[in-house]
Amino acid sequence: MDEPRLVRRLGTGDGVIIGLGSMIGAGIFAALAPAAAAAGSGLLIALAVAAVIAYCNATSSARLAAVYPASGGTYVYGRERLGEFWGYLAGWAFIVGKTASCAAMALTVGSYVWPGQAHAVAVAAVIAVTGLTCVGVQRTAWATRVIVTIVLAVLAAVLTACLTSPTADVARLTIGGDATAAGVLQAAGLLFFAFAGYARIATLGEEMRDPGRTIPRAITVALAITLAVYAAVAVAVLMVLGPVMLAAAADPLAQAVAAAGRPWLVPVIRVGAAVAAAGSLLALLLGVSRTTLAMARDRHLPRWLAVVSPRARVPRHAGIAIGSTVAVLAATVDVRGAIGFSSFGVLAYYAIANAAAWTLPPSAGRPPLVIPAVGLAGCGLLASFLPVPSLLTGATVLGLGAAAYALTRHRSAGRPGPV
């Protein structure tokens, strides 16, 4: 008897909401300050650089998702276009990188809800969100819609408070001499981390209705909305705080509304940040579990991870396994280390996606070659400006994954065939 399969229940609107839940999450609340510290008054240039690379990656991913509408994202694209090893490496980079990102999002929830018990709250958040992903993807999409609505309302309050404040000054947006090319690129890498959620739409390809049409449309719309929101918030916060104060802020949006003369909004911003991080965690767990499912189907991971729940039609085993791993990480690691490692994995993942898109024939709707070329080069450039510990750890983990693949293939080749 055939095993249960995932069901195509999600439309374009669901895909857009899931993408927004991934991108308009904790990144906008947390990434602006370290990006400003790196880029100085070049923050808006860094945002533009990150947006260009994100657009190239999104375009490549959207076209590949339309051609290969299956769970797994770039794991499937790399396997089909570049060979089994590159697909495996993309899947490995995605799983380990985004598992670390899940831990970072959970710790963000903890730091806003109860700073003194951030790790305990983070573990509780992981358990709750993992349970939600196991009850069905439609309910998950509904929950994500609620979260995105709350976050957008909070960001609208930030924009209103900052732009109507008498302390707002357009002169603070002026590009000064403190911005360096290296600083701008490092900031772009940090901001790219906040953009990268559109991959979650592609990894749900097996659950999207009419995926050849809905996936490219959902990715494009979600990225455009996210860019508009990020740019507006960055401009508003800079007009109130300026790059120096922004770089020093532990909670930049909360400090911005306080400096704008609206201190009563600070608790609202804190709640919004916690909700946003929970939304990102929800979308991340969805994507990682689907890539785990795809790799388990191909026996790169234990076969039991490929089981789909007959009733809820979700990869429950994969979801619980990933959630358990994230809970352990959330109890033991710090958020900065998790984000640095995750960034390396994400950039490696999208580099393979762009290389796969390059190989598409024109008949498959291949984007202009400049798009995957810029995306591939941009991923490599931003990765090279990550902190050295992130580079070394990321390269080591990718190397271990490659070694595991080679060992598995060698053992398979050495087994005697049927007599």
Closest among 254, 154, 156, 46 to 245, alpha carbons compared: 254
Domain count, the chain: 1
Asked if residue 252 has pLDDT above 90, the reply is: no
pLDDT confidence tier of residue 338, bands split at 50, 70 and 90: confident
Terminal-to-terminal C-alpha distance of the chain: 26
pLDDT confidence tier of residue 20, bands split at 50, 70 and 90: confident
Supply 144's token pair.
């994500």
pLDDT digits (tens, 9 = 90+) for 186-241: 888 878 877 777 666 766 666 777 777 787 788 888 888 888 988 999 999 999 99
Mean pLDDT of the chain: 84
User: Rounded to an integer, what distance in angstroms lies between the CA atom of residue 236 and that of residue 192?
Assistant: 20
Q: Is residue 1 part of a domain?
A: no
Q: Is residue 342 part of a domain?
A: yes
Asked if residue 418 has pLDDT above 50, the reply is: no
- Between residues 414 and 383, which one has the greater pLDDT? 383
User: Rounded to an integer, what distance in angstroms lies between the CA atom of residue 70 and that of residue 93?
Assistant: 18
Over residues 145-169, the mean pLDDT reads 88
Q: What is the CATH number of the domain that holds 301?
A: 1.20.1740.10
Q: What is the pLDDT of residue 416?
A: 44
Q: What is the pLDDT of residue 199?
A: 64
User: Rounded to an integer, what distance in angstroms lies between the CA atom of residue 388 and that of residue 30?
Assistant: 21
Asked if residue 276 has pLDDT above 70, the reply is: yes
Q: What is the pLDDT of residue 108?
A: 82
Q: Which residues contact 112 (CB under 8 A, 6 or more apart)?
A: 270, 271, 273, 274, 277
CA dihedral (12, 343, 228, 156) in degrees, to 10, reads: 100
Q: Is residue 416 part of a domain?
A: no
Q: What is the pLDDT of residue 38?
A: 85
- 137 and 207 in contact (C-beta within 8 Å)? yes
Domain that holds residue 133: 12-406
**CB burial readout 302-320, b (16+ within 10 A) else e:** eeebbebeeebbbbbbbbb
**CB burial readout 212-236, b (16+ within 10 A) else e:** eebbbbbbbbbbebbbebbebbbbb
pLDDT confidence tier of residue 6, bands split at 50, 70 and 90: low
Neighbours of 380 (CB within 10 A): 13
Identify the top-confidence range among 8-17, 300-309, 367-376.
367-376
Q: What is the dihedral sign for C-alpha 305, 308, 312, 313?
A: positive
Q: What is the pLDDT of residue 419?
A: 32
Lowest-confidence region among 1-15, 142-156, 302-316, 345-359: 1-15
User: Rounded to an integer, what distance in angstroms lies between the CA atom of residue 397 and that of residue 93?
Assistant: 8
Q: Which residues contact 20 (CB under 8 A, 6 or more apart)?
A: 148, 197, 222, 225, 226
Q: Is residue 411 part of a domain?
A: no
Q: Is residue 50 part of a domain?
A: yes
Measure the CA angle with vertex 290, ends 94 and 272; round to 5°. 75
Residue position matching structure tokens 């039609």: 313
Mapped onto helix, strand or coil, the DSSP state of residue 10 is: strand
Residue position matching structure tokens 């290969």: 68
Q: At 234, phi and psi to the nearest 5?
A: -60, -45
Asked if residue 123 has pLDDT above 90, the reply is: yes
Neighbours of 98 (CB within 10 A): 29
pLDDT digits (tens, 9 = 90+) for 135-148: 765 555 676 778 77
Asked if residue 299 has pLDDT above 80, the reply is: yes
Q: Is residue 311 part of a domain?
A: yes
Closest among 287, 247, 332, 278 to 95, alpha carbons compared: 287
- Between residues 242 and 173, which one has the greater pLDDT? 242
Q: Is residue 374 part of a domain?
A: yes
Residue 54, Cβ density class (10 Å: 0-12 exposed, 13-18 middle, ≥19 buried)? buried
Q: What is the pLDDT of residue 89?
A: 95
Q: Is residue 413 part of a domain?
A: no
